[in-house]
Amino acid sequence: MIPRDNPASRIAEATGLTPNHRISCPVGGNTPQYLVEVLGRRIWRGVSDAALIVGAESGASARKVASGSALLEPKPVAAQDESLGDTRPGLSEAEMGAGLHWPHEVYPIFESAIAARSGRTFDEQRRWLGDLMAPFTVEASRHPEQAWFPRARSADELSTVSPANRMVCEPYPKLLNSIIAVDMAAAFVIMAAEVAEELGVPSDRWVFPWSSATCNDVYFPVQRPDLGRSAGIRAAGKAVLAASGLHIDDIRWFDFYSCFPSAVEAAIDALDLDPADDRGFTVTGGLPYHGGPGNNYVSHSIVEMVRRCRSDPDAVGLVSGLGWYITKHSLGLWSATPPPTGWQTPDMADAQSAIDGTSLPVASPADASGEATIDGYTVVHDRDQGPSWVPIFARMTDGRRVAARSDDAEVAVAMSRDMCVGHQVAVRQADGHVEFELS
C-alpha cells in the first residue's frame, strides 16, 4: 500500500491555499461526516470561517504501482498535517490471532448473527440479501458519471454463486462485497452563512447541516454483546433526530454506509425501519456499486445528498458514516431549509459510556479451554478450492467471549451448509491461537 503523506498539506500546496489548519485523519469511513461535525462546531463558535473537506480513494492506482505497471514518484512536502480522529486499530490481538485481518472476513460474521436471528440459513440469507441490495445497483446505474459500477443487477444476479460471482466468505459472494481497487474523489465546502453572503454564494445553493453526532459501538467486535446489532448507530441516530425535533418518518432520503450488507441491516434495525421502506437506503448506489470503500465514500454521499436537498428544499436527508467494523459511527441530517433549532451537535458522552459498559471479557489463548457456543462465524473460501477455514466468535460457559478458528476443510464444508450459530464447540489453545472443534 502507498502511505499517506500529509495529504492536506499537499492539497494546500497544489491549490495555492494558505489555510490556518491542515488536517488529515486516520482510518475510518465515518470521517467526512465526523469532520462536518467537528469543523462545523468550530464554524458555529466563530473559531473558523470555512473548511474545505477533500477525500479520495486510489486503490486502483495503488494496485498498478504495486504491479509495476505504473510509477509513483512523490515529491516531498514541507508541512506536517494535524491529526484528527480515533487512531486505534480496528481489531484486537484476539481477533487477529484467530486469523482475521480484513473487513471481508469480519462483516460476514455479523451477517451470520443477523441470519440466525431471522431463522435463515446462509443460502436463505444470501437470497434475502439479493432483494435488499438490488435497489442499490439500480441507484448506481442512475449515476454513470460518478459510479464505478453503474449497472443495474437483479436480486438473483447478486445472490447466485457463479464463476463471475464467486463465493468469498459465507454468505457473501463477490457482488455483495465492496471492491477497494477504485480511483474516486469528492470534495465540498462548509462555511458560515455570513461568509457565504460576503462571497456572493446564491442562497438557492445553500444546504444546511442540521445536526450531527458521533458514537462508537463496543470498539472491538469480539467484545460486543450482540454481533448483529449496532448500539452506536441507534444512539447517534436517536440523538440527531431529537436534536432537530424530527421523527424517522420525517426523513425523505437516507444514505447508509454500505461496505457490506450487514452494515446496512444494522442501520435499518437501529433506526427501526422496514427493510422494504420505499424511500430506499442510498442516494448514490452505495459502496459496492457506486464505489469508494475506503475513508471517503461519505463525501460522495454528502455531495449527492446536497443535490437532493437543492431539488426539494423542504425535505431532510440522513447520511451515516461508519469506520472499521461497524465500530465508529457519525450520522448527520441535511436540508436546504435552515435548521429550526440551529446547528446541533448533541453530547454523546453518556450514551458512549453506557455502550462501553456492555463490553464482554475475552478469553486469552492461554486460558481458553472448554465448551463454548457460537455467536457468529463465517466460512472463508479459497478462490480455487472452495471452503477453506472458519473463524468464530463464541461465548464460553463463564460468559467470556473467545475468537477461535478451524483450519479443517471438512469442518469448513459442513459449516457452509448448515447454520451453526448457537451450536456448541470445544475450544483449546493451539500454537499461540485458539482453535475449535464442533461438539
Give yes or no for a contact between 6 and 76, defined as CB atoms under 8 angstroms apart.
Answer: no
Of the candidates 389, 413, 414, 405, the residue with the CA atom closest to the CA atom of residue 437:
405
Residue 223 to residue 235: CA distance in whole angstroms: 18
pLDDT for 105 beyond 80: yes
- Report the top-level CATH class of 7-59+181-356: alpha beta
* More reliable by pLDDT, 5 or 410: 410
What mean pLDDT do residues 240-254 have? Answer: 98
Please give the pLDDT value at position 431: 85
Please give the pLDDT value at position 70: 72
Number of neighbouring beta carbons within 10 Å of residue 133: 24
Amino acid identity of 299?
S
Instruction: Give 2's pLDDT tier (boundaries 50, 70, 90).
Output: very low
Instruction: Give 242's pLDDT tier (boundaries 50, 70, 90).
Output: very high
pLDDT for 429 beyond 70: yes
Please give the pLDDT value at position 3: 53
**What is the phi/psi pair of residue 304, to 5°?**
-70, -35
pLDDT for 114 beyond 80: yes
Mean pLDDT check: name the lowest of 11-25, 26-40, 102-116, 331-345: 11-25
Domain ranges of the chain: 7-59+181-356, 365-438
Return the C-alpha cell found at 39: 469543523
What mean pLDDT do residues 401-416 have? Answer: 97
Residues 6+ apart with CB under 8 A from 67: none
Q: Is 24 helix (H, G, I), strand (E, B) or coil?
A: strand
For the chain, give the mean pLDDT: 95
Instruction: Give 1's pLDDT tier (boundaries 50, 70, 90).
Output: very low
Give yes or no for a contact between 220 and 92, defined as CB atoms under 8 angstroms apart.
Answer: yes
% of the chain at pLDDT higher than 70: 99
Please give the pLDDT value at position 415: 97
Please give the pLDDT value at position 155: 98
Query: pLDDT per residue over 362-371, tens digit each?
Result: 999 999 999 9
Please give the pLDDT value at position 42: 95
What mean pLDDT do residues 14-19 have? Answer: 91
Mean pLDDT check: name the lowest of 19-28, 113-122, 128-137, 150-159: 19-28
- Report the top-level CATH class of 365-438: mainly beta
Please give the pLDDT value at position 76: 77
What mean pLDDT do residues 130-149 have? Answer: 97
pLDDT for 315 beyond 60: yes
Please give the pLDDT value at position 432: 84
